[in-house]
Structure 1
Amino acid sequence: MTDTSGIAVERVDPTDRARAIDTIVLAFGADPLIRWLFSTPQEYLEEFPSFVERYAGAAFDADGAYHVHDFAGVALWEPPGTSSAEGRTAEFLSERLEETAFVDLGTAFEQVNRSYPDDRRWHLPFVGVDPIHQRSGYGSRLLEHVLTRCDQENVVATLESTNPRNLSLYARHGFELCETIQIGDVPPIYPMVRTPRSHEDATSR
């Protein structure tokens, strides 16, 4: 695994909220599920930023938003106790999806939620790196920053990958695939769970 110890992680200042979302927009331009939701370039550029704000905006308010290398990479983590994003996004999506697609997407995420433990956990709605900075270790560093804390506090971490190309990255950091979920025309969703590692496990990586 790439040595990322020299990469500094900084918390996103409230005044830089838009900069963080811009990085996520750049990173998710080819994501299968996101581009299913926002299929045209205009829809994606105009509407996806609002979706990120609704779906993961709680990370900013809960001090769970981090960046590296002047926003070359961003992670939006939701600490334990953060309110569910479903209520924040349901109305937004219901207005832009056909009824069948909206119902299928809701069913898919109901199944995702059943994959996760009920106890306290850190959840990762988005982590992304500007394409010109990918393969620089920035994504790994943003994962490690919170996963180290999960190990120290004995807390589970969860995420749902919507791009199969990222599964190996998450697996290298200890996430395990729960199942592959595909309902109707909704692209596959991959819920993943990482159990906290002991000190011995963490130092042997």
Structure 2
Amino acid sequence: MQIVLLGDGEIERAATVMAGAFASDPLGLYILPDPQNRLTMLSWFWRQALHRNHLYAGNYTTAGEIRGVASWLPPGAPRETLWDLWQPFWQVLRCAGWRSTYRCLALLEFVERLRDRHCSSPHWYLDGLAVAPESQGQGIGSLLLQPVLERVDREGQTCCLYTSTERAVRFYQRQGFTVCEEVRFQTQAPPLWYMVRSPQ
């Protein structure tokens, strides 16, 4: 299976695939508890992220049919400020209400603090990895990571991510990531694991 850069015209479809893959993610369920707008909001969120990361050639997918997506931010990409995050989140507020908006902003701000704590040197940040539910278990996730993992190993760079399922933790450990911290961003929130991979 060939892994290629995601084309500009494929972002809409890729966002839909990512939303479907994250629809049952514990953090997504906590932040967007209403099933009626969860897929809509997840699609919107991933569309924003993919457009931003497309500027840095950070989105990878499967050639032909989009069966999965890996979306990265490279070293030196501007970090989002809380104000950057707040401006587009009027959309979240309008569709999902105050509670979901507050939780979403709190999570993103919390993750930025984890990133500062565990990845102070220039690094690649895995914004999201998703495989369509019907294509999971076929090794596609590992293939989607390979272009950047091979590059960071070659260039001696670190990469980091966070995830919210133990199954994903085990998957990323097989790719060379180690857990730096297991934490909850709010008392009632599900746990998340912050992971870092040193060059290998």
Name the TM-score class by shorter chain: 0.7 to 0.9
User: Cα offset for 1:63?
Assistant: 0.5
Q: Which runs of 5+ in 1 are unaligned?
A: 1-6, 198-205
| Other structure's SS at 2:183 match | coil
User: Cα offset for 1:189?
Assistant: 1.6
TM-score normalised by structure 1 residue count: 0.83
Matched, 1:89 2:85: yes
Aligned to 1:116: 118
Equivalent pair of 1:55/1:86 in contact (CA under 8 Å) = no
| Other structure's SS at 2:188 match | coil
Identity %: 27
Equivalent pair of 2:31/2:103 in contact (CA under 8 Å) = no
| Partner Cα distance (1:187, 1:17) in 2 | 29
Equivalent pair of 1:27/1:129 in contact (CA under 8 Å) = yes
| Partner Cα distance (1:74, 1:103) in 2 | 24
Letter in 1 for 2:111: F
Out of 187, 193, 197, the residue aligned to residue 196 of structure 2 is 193
| Partner Cα distance (2:105, 2:188) in 1 | 11
Aligned to 2:164: 162
| Partner Cα distance (1:170, 1:32) in 2 | 17
What do you get for the CA RMSD once the two structures are aligned? 2.2
| Other structure's SS at 1:136 match | coil
Give the direction of change, closer, same or farther, for the CA distance of 1:67–1:156 in structure 2 (3 Å limit).
same
Aligned to 2:182: 180
> Structure 1 or 2: larger helix share?
2
Equivalent pair of 1:11/1:67 in contact (CA under 8 Å) = yes
Out of 126, 129, 132, the residue aligned to residue 127 of structure 1 is 129
TM-score normalised by structure 2 residue count: 0.85
